[in-house]
Amino acid sequence: MTSPTTRRAYILRGSSALVAAGLLTLTSACAGGGGSEEVTSLTAMDYNLAEPQNGTTKKMLQQCGEQAGVEINRNALPRDQLMPRLLQGASQQELPDLMLLDNPNLPQIAATGALLPLEEAGFDTEGYYDSVLKVGTHEDTLYGLAAGVNGLALFTDTAKLEEAGVEPPQTWDELRDAAKKLTQGDTNGFAFSAIGHEEGTWTFEPFLWSNGATLTELDSPEAVEALQLWSDMVEEGSVSQSVVNWSQADVNDQFLGGRAAMMINGSWQIPVLDEQDVDYEVVPLPVPEAGADPATPMGGEVWAIARNGEEREQKAVEVLQCLLNEPNMREWAELNAYVPAKEGLAQQVAEENPQMAPFVESVPTARSRTAKLGEQYPDVSSAIADAIQQALAGSGSAEEALSQAQQAVPES
């Protein structure tokens, strides 16, 4: 997932000027592709519009372009415009040479055959987490590599838990009990994003997976039990019914304002909380039974290279190898409060910042959202989000809502 700050920027900064710039950039990429002419420039596209990610992406691309002997013409689009533009570009063989996209979107581009297999291009993947490589893989071929990844964990308000005599919960039963005890006055015991799109689905997936359910059997008893847990906590009043409208940024605002004692959120909230001098703790997500491993979805973006002709591809490989070298990987991870994609660097981050440790610990077992569904994941994700909304709003039972969502799962 992408930080809320970035997401807000998509809305605020979308403009027709950027769209026009994108068209020019893609046209340039097409005109420059193929042949044996010397490659002096490459194109790149991403959705890092918010600062400091915007400036850092620009700086890294410029430095790595200079190192490879090319100028990088970068186009940053609002997120909701990026995938339509890339899919259009893929269909017209006009993709930018380098693109940074949210990892569950990679299979949609890879399925068109427009991306360069990275291992065939000579990328050394030694030191990367296997789970990180999986989110960049489509049909057993690696097309995308991340500099850093993110996930979900449970944030707890230290003072509120101490006052209520509550320990950070480790199981679903403990979570439910703690949420009840911590619900007092205007404060809900627990908060999470159940908004009606991928952000809500992504927050629900750890509950789905850790209970033994899968994205292809949404009407299983295990899946229904997971959604019933969320529904019960809303009905009991320990979770606000407004979670169906809350983004992860909204959830963090509730936590910062003292209106939620515990929340599910991502590592990117750590700098936000630290700036506000909040006394909090981060622990792994509660699981159905004690001792089980949390099963979190892996978030973050991957870089990919388009098949734009051998000469351009070679230059793009040089640039990407620079973007993913260890100093740049470390800088990018620190900037975003991400976990570095290489295990050695990630362990250093966990030792230096204990609040990051639960996120580092979750990476080896973190799952790719598209591993089973590939390019069909977005449709299933949307159906799950609808089911969550239906169950939490009380317009249908968890069983009825997920039975309906199952209809979006393609037949195997």
Residues 376-390 have pLDDT tens digits of: 999 999 999 999 999
pLDDT over 50 at 38, yes or no:
yes
- Whether 126 is covered by a domain: the verdict is yes
The tokens describing 107, both together, are 């299979």
Residue 116 confidence (pLDDT): 98
Q: What pTM was computed for the model?
A: 0.84
Residue closest to 102 by CA, chosen among 122, 83, 89: 83
Cβ count within 10 A of residue 404: 16
Question: Higher pLDDT residue, 107 or 50?
Answer: 107
Same domain membership, residue 304 and residue 384: no
Task: Please state the rounded mean pLDDT for residues 142-169.
Answer: 97
Same domain, 225 and 306: no
Query: What pLDDT shows up at residue 142?
Result: 98
Structure tokens that stand for 104 in this block: 């569950």
Q: Which residue has the higher pLDDT, 327 or 1?
A: 327
Average pLDDT, the chain: 90
Cα separation of 160 and 182, whole Å?
A: 7
Lowest mean pLDDT among 136-145, 225-234, 293-302, 309-318: 293-302
**Structure tokens belonging to residue 253:** 């605002």
36 is a domain residue: no
Do both 319 and 402 map to the same domain?
A: no
Residues 273, 331 within the same domain? no
Question: What is the predicted pLDDT for the residue at 289?
Answer: 95
Q: 15-19, 190-194, 233-237, 392-396 — which is least confidently predicted?
A: 15-19
Mean pLDDT throughout 116-142? Answer: 95
Torsion of CA 56, 279, 285, 216, to 10 degrees: -50
Question: Do 47 and 101 sit in the same domain of this protein?
Answer: yes
**Confidence band for 3, pLDDT divided at 50, 70 and 90:** very low
> Do 131 and 272 share a domain, yes or no?
no
Given this model, what pLDDT does residue 300 score?
A: 93
Starting at the edge strand found earlier in the chain, the sheet holding 280-283 runs 262-266, 152-157, 280-283
| Residue 30 counted as domain residue | no
Residue 111's alpha-carbon distances to 145, 201, 309, 314, in angstroms, are 17, 23, 18, 22
Q: How confident is the model at residue 36 (pLDDT cuts 50, 70, 90)?
A: low
Q: Are residues 167 and 230 in the same domain?
A: yes
Ranking 17-26, 301-310, 339-348 by mean pLDDT, the lowest is 17-26
**What is the pLDDT confidence band of residue 75, given thresholds at 50, 70 and 90?**
very high
Cα gap 289→51, rounded to integer Å: 41
Residue 18 within a domain: no
Q: Are residues 265 and 382 in the same domain?
A: yes
320 and 184 together in one domain: no
What per-residue confidence (pLDDT) applies to 1?
54
Are the beta carbons of 158 and 130 closer than 8 angstroms? no
CATH code for the domain in which residue 307 is found: 3.40.190.10
Residue 291 pLDDT exceeds 60:
yes
Would you say 308 and 116 are in contact if contact means Cβ atoms under 8 Å apart?
no
pLDDT at 412: 74
The number of folded domains in the chain is 2
Asked, for residue 198, whether it belongs to a domain, the answer is yes
In a domain, 8, yes or no: no
Inside any domain, residue 27:
no
The per-residue DSSP string of 284-297 comes to: PPPBSSTTPPP-PB
The whole-number average pLDDT for the span 342-349 is 97
Same domain, yes or no, for 59 and 113?
Answer: yes
Pair (165, 307) in one structural domain:
no
For residue 107, tell me if it sits in a domain: yes
Contact 278, 263 (CB under 8 A): no
pLDDT at 27 over 80: no
Q: What percent of the chain has pLDDT over 70?
A: 91
Domain that holds residue 101: 41-149+299-367
Q: What's the rounded mean pLDDT across residues 266-274?
A: 92
335 and 396: one domain? no
Summarised one tens digit per residue, pLDDT across range 105-126 is 999 999 999 999 999 999 999 9
